[in-house]
Structures are given as C-alpha cells and as structure tokens.
Chains A and B, each alone.
Chain A
C-alpha cells in the first residue's frame, strides 16, 4: 500500500515542461546539415518526426513517457501507451513497432511494473503494432511510455501547421481529463467522472485517424500537455487565426465544477501564461477558460478539414462512438489570434 501512495504524485501530461521553457532550449541547439529526407522535424513543433525512405514510404517516429496520473498501474500502462501511439495517428500514420521506456524504483513491488507493462502491451496490440523491446532504468519515481515507429505515404502526412483559412475544426475527445485526475488526487472527483476520464484516455486515436483518411484533412494534431488552446496556437503557425465556440467544445462536465473549486494544476497555469496573450475570451466562464488551458493526457485529435466535408466527418466520428464535435473555424490572420465565443 505504501508503494501505491508514492506511485502517483500528479503525472500524465501535467508533468510536461512548459512550452515557453522548451522553445528557448530548442532554439539554442546547434543544427546539423539539412537532410532533405526529413519531412517533419522539431522545427515545426509537430507531434512526431517524419523521415522519407523511398518515393512512397516515410517513417514516423515519436516517443512519449510520463509519471502516473492515477493509482491503478494497469490503467496507467494503457493510458501511457495510448498517449504515445497517438502521435503517430496525429500525423496520419500507421503504427508498426513500439519500444517500452521504463523508470522504476528498485525497492518497489515488481508486480506493479508487470501491471503497467501489461496495460501498455495490450494497447500496442490493439493498435496492430508489435512490441519489440525496451529500456529500463532504476529511478526514484515511476515513469512509463513508448517509443513508437510507424509508416506513412510521404504525400499523406498531416502536419499540424498546414491548415487553410476556412477549414473547420473538429475535436474528437472531451477536454478536462487533467482537472478530473487532479481532483481525484485530492479525493474530490466522483467515481463516474473518473471512469469517464479513464475511458477517454485509454481510447486509441486510431479509430478517429482511420475515419479521417476518407476526408480532405489539411492539418491534424493531438491535444496533449499544452492544452486545447496551446495546441491550437501551434496549428495556427503565426499565419492563421481561429474562432472557437466554447459551447460546442466537448467537455467532461465535472471538470468545470472542479475548475470552479480551483483544483488546478501547475501545468495548466503554465499553459495559461504561455498561450493567454494570443487568446481573447468573450463571455466565457472562468471554469471553461481553465478547461481550455487544461493539459490533456492522451487527448483527442484536433482536425482542420475542408469545410464542405466537416459535417459528414463529424457525423461519422460520432457514429463510431466518439464525442467528436465541430468546435470552430480557421480564418485569415486577425487580432486576436484565437477568439473564443
């Protein structure tokens, strides 16, 4: 039992470094010679790297790991894996292989590690990929995730920054899982809300991504640590703006209640510090603002799609059982960059 208390001290994507700090460090790194086969690198702050290996084949590479955001090691394993696999889906790729990344205290019960990895491998299997190895180190706290390799046709990559003015934005999962997990840690979340959050976090973005292949998707990203507005800001790429209708945003209802009680994470506040200068809220409640900045673990896809196809795509995603909704549109660049009404 003592192990379990140490196991979870606030993890998932709330443990991510702030975007502001990160871009300062990244911009200082020395750049090697340009490689034309690198279609997407970290310059574009995209979800995963894409490297072309032949005329009709590119590989997608990504890695993601974090500390537990809940006390159940098996579910944590599932969520960490779903979150890591998601980056490949956000690029439009198919996952092929995965490697485990593990940090685990030597003194902790190894059965816990077994449960984490069982959860992870089940999701890798559901994704249709194979687990091919991994690396583990002794550390004073638990962390788990995957390094994932996928494949994609070089012409069919969904960069997160190739949206066009007029595109309709669709979000495929509910926001608020960060706040609900935080409330759960201080004993405030209801069982039902936590179950809904877990169902959402363990759902692979594979199903949404497969549906997207039938539509003209111009840009796609998964909503994770930087929150909905942070990832939207990256999608706008300094050349577009967006108009978001808060009432259409799919939200875990209990997250709004907990936000009103200020059960908020440090990562959420860091997201606000980084993204708020680009956003204007018009008659939006404080709780909804917080949900829009809330870091999401294994969040949904944010899709920019050709406007004439938007309603058909929304309907097909909903038929597949996803809480997907049209949440706004991309526009030509205006001030403010993001208007939330």
Chain B
C-alpha cells in the first residue's frame, strides 16, 4: 500500500505526527508513505525518525519550498534494527582498569603514627608494581596526602609522571583548608569518584 501525506505549510512536529498516523494506517502489511513538506528542517526531522525506526528513507527537492520524503515500512527491517541495538548494549569490558582508593591519611586502625608510616610505605610499594593502577582517588583524610608537605608527594609525582591519574576530592580539600596546597594531580568531585569506582575492573583499598 502507498500513502501520501500532505504536510505543506505545517510546522514541526506536525509533518512527523501526520506521517506516523499514515504509517499506523498501513497496518501490519507495511508499504510506503510519501510526505510532502515545505522546508528542509522538516525533511531532516522525518529522516531522523525513519533512521531511528529503521525504515529505508529517501528524500528529494521537487521545487523551491517543496520536498518529498518517502519511507518504506516493512516488518523485516524493523527486526534487524532491534538486533543491531542489542549488540550495541553489550557492556564495555575494559581490562587493567585498576583504581586505588585512599580514604584516610593512615593505613589501618590502631595507632595513627604507625598508620601514617604504613600509608607512606603503601604508596611507595604501589609505585614499584609491574602494573600500575589507572587512577588513584584521594578523599576525606586521604586528601592530605596530595598536598604540600605530605610525605607521599614524591612517590605520587613519580606515579603521575608514569601516566597514573591522581584525583583528589575538592570538597575535602576545601573542608581541610587545603585548597591552595594541592601539589600533585587534579581536583575532582563525587560524580567522578563514583564513576571511577563503578567502572573499575579492580578496586584496591588499603
């Protein structure tokens, strides 16, 4: 079946609404719908719909301010489109995306003086691994480790030089009054922190 839709003089989205109604009237058998419009933007909006729906579409300029858009509606093409979408939905499995999370300036609980020494040792040990993490996140007390006078600065700078992303929570820097003291890496926010953690292949938290 073939239907003709006259949408000359109609503003968007009316040409699309009329064309959708004509497609509905075609029923399950399918067929083609030819829509006449008076401007190029309407042609683009119709083409966009056809592409999204997986309908083959062609358009031509008939004369000044008169365009024809022809869509072919069949059941097979729609199915193919759905399968394509399914393939695109497979999650992106990255490998080697290790994220180290440092939430305190101390490592472990018990004695903070010991914890500080252990944390320095841990950062050094990370920098000596064969496989470096993609990102190291610093928040709450951890934010102090990327700032001026931190014992961990030198190792963190060497990690950064080797391509490791060093991110420190901005709200935390502000809280501890360290806004101007950040010496390595960049400032980040909770959305980035959450994103890095959810997308990590492995999270290491001392």
Contacts and interface: CB of A to CB of B under 8 A. Distances in A.
Interface of A: 9-10, 166, 168, 182, 186, 245, 248, 261-266, 269-270, 273, 283, 286, 307-312, 326, 329
Contact of A269 (B12, B17, B186, B187): B12
Contacts of B16: 262-264
Contacts of B192: 329
B42 interface: yes
Contacts of A264: 12-13, 16, 45, 48
Contact of B189 (A186, A286, A307): A307
Contact of B11 (A9, A286, A310): A9
Interface of B: 11-14, 16-17, 20, 39, 41-42, 44-45, 48-49, 52, 88, 170-171, 173-174, 179, 186-192, 195
List the 8 closest pairs (A to B, CB-CB), nearest first: A308-B170, A307-B187, A266-B12, A311-B171, A266-B41, A262-B49, A308-B174, A307-B170
A269 B94 CA distance: 35
Nearest to B187: A307
A272 to B, nearest CB: 8
A269 B174 CA distance: 42
Given A262-B16, A312-B174, A10 B186 contact: no
B20 A307 contact: no
Contacts of B39: 266
Contacts of A248: 191
Nearest to A327: B191
Contacts of A286: 52
A262 B187 CA distance: 40
Contact of B13 (A245, A265, A270, A283): A265
Given A9-B11, A307-B188, A310-B171, 13 more contacts: A186-B17, A262-B45, A262-B49, A264-B12, A264-B13, A264-B16, A264-B45, A266-B12, A266-B42, A269-B48, A308-B174, A310-B170, A310-B189
A186 B13 contact: yes
A286 to B, nearest CB: 5
Given A307-B170, A308-B173, A312-B174, A265 B191 contact: no
A185 to B, nearest CB: 8
Contacts of A308: 170-171, 173-174, 179, 187
Contacts of A263: 13, 16-17
Contacts of A329: 189, 192
Contacts of A311: 170-171, 189-190
Contact of B191 (A9, A10, A245): A245
Contact of B45 (A9, A168, A261, A266): A266
A283 B91 CA distance: 10
A258 B88 CA distance: 23
Contacts of A261: 20
A245 B199 CA distance: 14
Contacts of A307: 170, 186-189
Nearest to B52: A286
A10 B170 contact: no
B72 to A, nearest CB: 17
Contacts of A266: 11-12, 39, 41-42, 45
Contact of B48 (A9, A186, A262): A262
A309 B12 contact: no
Nearest to B88: A283
A308 B167 CA distance: 12
B186 to A, nearest CB: 6
B105 to A, nearest CB: 18
A306 to B, nearest CB: 8
B93 to A, nearest CB: 14
A248 B174 CA distance: 23
A186 B14 contact: yes
A326 B189 contact: yes
Nearest to A309: B174
A245 B189 contact: no
16 contacts: A186-B17, A245-B191, A248-B191, A262-B16, A262-B45, A265-B12, A286-B52, A307-B187, A307-B189, A308-B179, A309-B170, A310-B170, A310-B189, A311-B189, A312-B174, A329-B189
Contacts of B14: 186
Nearest to A282: B92
B182 to A, nearest CB: 9
Nearest to B180: A308
B119 to A, nearest CB: 23
Contacts of B173: 308
Contacts of B48: 262, 264, 269
Nearest to B47: A269
Contacts of A270: 41
Contacts of A310: 170-171, 189
Nearest to A167: B187
